[in-house]
Amino acid sequence: MKDKLKIIIGKQALKKGVKELAHKISNDYKDKDPVLVGILKGSFIFMADLVRELQIPHKVDFISVASYGSGKCASGVVRWLKDLSINIEDKHVIIVEDIIDSGLTLNYIRNNLLTRNPKSLKIVTLLNKRRRRKIKIPLRYVGFFIANRFVVGYGLDYNEKYRNLPYIAQLKE
């Protein structure tokens, strides 16, 4: 059956939102040389656009975890697939996430990174599904609040499809 897509955040709105986030981060992290840690795979496009709008020196690294088996259901199980290559001890770290849903994945990652004694650890997420939160996490920067709908595009997938869409769309089957 063919999936139906409804655009909820268009290309221009995304561009503007990402630019604003980069502007705030650039102001807050002057002379701090932060390490931006992208959570693969979902954050790769957001990360690429975000760093190109940053006005300050910074470093980029990635980790990869598996939180959803496949499809739309959270398993609650987090598997560590790829670790950082940069030592973040005593560094200012910013986790770059595509979307926060239950918050379980990010909570796990955050706690793990905290054990490595960064100088600071903040989170930037492009999308926030606030009403689905199962665990409280401090979010420093949020691009867009969205309703409890499954979305794809701009890095986010459904069974590895739709990551390349230049907008965020709601998926309806």
What DSSP character marks residue 122? E
Q: Catalytic: 157?
A: no
Dihedral of the alpha carbons of 154, 5, 9, 153, in degrees to the nearest 10: -10
- The single-letter code of the amino acid at 82 is K
Query: Does residue 126 interact with ligand IMP by CB under 6 A?
Result: no
Among 11, 51, 61, 102, binds ligand IMP (CB under 6 A): 102
Question: Is there binding between residue 67 and ligand IMP (CB under 6 A)?
Answer: yes
- Binding segment for ligand IMP (CB under 6 A), chosen from 2-10, 48-56, 81-89, 146-154, is 146-154
Position among 13, 28, 68, 140 found at the interface with ligand IMP (CB under 6 A): 68
Q: For residue 140, give the H/E element and its range.
A: none
Strands 92-100 and 74-82: unpaired
Are 134 and 102 in contact by the 8 Å Cβ rule? The answer is: yes
Q: Which of 5, 45, 123, 156 binds ligand IMP (CB under 6 A)?
A: 156
List residues near ligand IMP by CB under 6 A.
42, 67-68, 74, 97-106, 150-152, 156
